[in-house]
Amino acid sequence: MLKRLLSNDMPRSRVLAVLLLAVLLGLAFAPFAFPGVKALSVAAKILVFVVLVASFDLLLGYTGIVSFAHTMFFGIGAYGIAIAASRMGPSWGAVAVGLGGALALSLVLALAIGLFSLRVRAIFFAMITLAVAAAFQTLASQLSEFTGGEDGLTFKLPELISPSFEFAEEPFFGVSLDGRLLCYYLLFVVAVVLVLALLRIVNSPFGRVLQAIRENEFRAEAIGYRVVVYRTTAAVLSALFATLAGAMLAIWLRYNGPETSLSFEIMVDVLLIVVIGGMGTIYGAAIGAVLFVIAQSYLQDLLRLGSEAASGLPWLAALLSPDRWLLWLGVLFVLSVYYFPTGIVGKLRTRAAR
């Protein structure tokens, strides 16, 4: 049953299986195991990034396509929910309309980019997608009547998933049973379903063709596969999953702006997570997202504790200053690439095979 659920893509490593189980259980019980607003927000961000990174890995890791327009589709999903909810009010109909409109727009844009740009070689396609993403971000900032401009949009969602709604008076294991908790578990279920769907896609005959195209595009073309069609389909599927990830972010934050979902920094983060977790592995998206988001969220706190503990050594205290958290994040990334050149999942699977 488990093998079928995972589309016959088993971890193939005991250590990896334990890590994946720990991630699943940690996210499933995060509201109770790690109480607090920040911890819950970090867990929700991990869920969003798992879907976003896994969708990007469908392009980069499985098809060999380098695209910088992925955050554009992520932003479209977030703006779809934000615009619909701000104009139609806090209703499930607004959520459905916003999500449907965002998916339709992403489908059209991804299809257009795929058909017109995927015939060019890697670096030129990457530059085209970068230009399109930059243009869309500028457009979102200037169309303030619809998008709220640089200030973004703050909106309300149905009361059932709002923090003010409580469906039990007594806390459960010290955790308030309110709409925010229900919203978190809504994201959790959606994230698990989408990851399982991506596993099914990459382990299907379609996914095998994508991997063949990644390894040798000309050989795949020679044996009869229409490479442009497969690459375009992969681009469209990846865009749709990224749109769903953006909608998840907007539903959780109940706010969206250019820096929240369209920033190029998000694209850089996604690239780093793919490299850390391992390209060409959906599991790598989960492992990499957990490690990166936790490091990004708590590294400053750890450095603050270290700096206080090393107060007797001024040079060490200055080196461990929380203001230098980006430096240490970069050091951690370099070390991870050095010791795990094929990503954490790739390294664990290689070691298990030996």
Confidence of residue 343 (pLDDT cuts 50, 70, 90): confident
| Residue 215: predicted pLDDT | 85
| Residue 127: predicted pLDDT | 83
| Residue 118: predicted pLDDT | 61
What mean pLDDT do residues 268-279 have?
Answer: 90
pLDDT in tens, 190-206: 999 999 999 999 999 99
**Over the chain, what is the mean pLDDT?**
87
Torsion of the alpha carbons at 351, 47, 297 and 38, rounded to the nearest 10: -140
Domain at 61, CATH number: 1.10.3470
Confidence of residue 304 (pLDDT cuts 50, 70, 90): confident
Q: Closest Cα to residue 159, out of 184, 178, 185?
A: 178
The token pair that represents 314 in the structure block: 């001024």
| Residue 178: predicted pLDDT | 82
Highest-confidence range of 170-179, 237-246, 319-328, by mean pLDDT?
237-246
The token pair that represents 198 in the structure block: 């991506």
Is it the case that residue 11 has pLDDT exceeding 90? no
What backbone torsions phi and psi does residue 303 show, to the nearest 5 degrees?
-65, -35
| Residue 185: predicted pLDDT | 93
Is it the case that residue 114 has pLDDT exceeding 70? yes
Residue 172's DSSP bridge partners are 175
Confidence of residue 6 (pLDDT cuts 50, 70, 90): confident
CA gyration radius, the chain: 21
Higher pLDDT, 121 or 300: 300
Range of the domain at 50: 2-353
Is it the case that residue 120 has pLDDT exceeding 70? no
What mean pLDDT do residues 267-290 have?
Answer: 91
Is it the case that residue 316 has pLDDT exceeding 90? no
What mean pLDDT do residues 291-298 have?
Answer: 90
| Residue 99: predicted pLDDT | 95
Is it the case that residue 124 has pLDDT exceeding 80? no
- Per the structure, how many domains does the chain have? 1
Is it the case that residue 44 has pLDDT exceeding 90? yes
pLDDT in tens, 156-191: 988 888 887 777 777 777 677 788 889 999 999 999
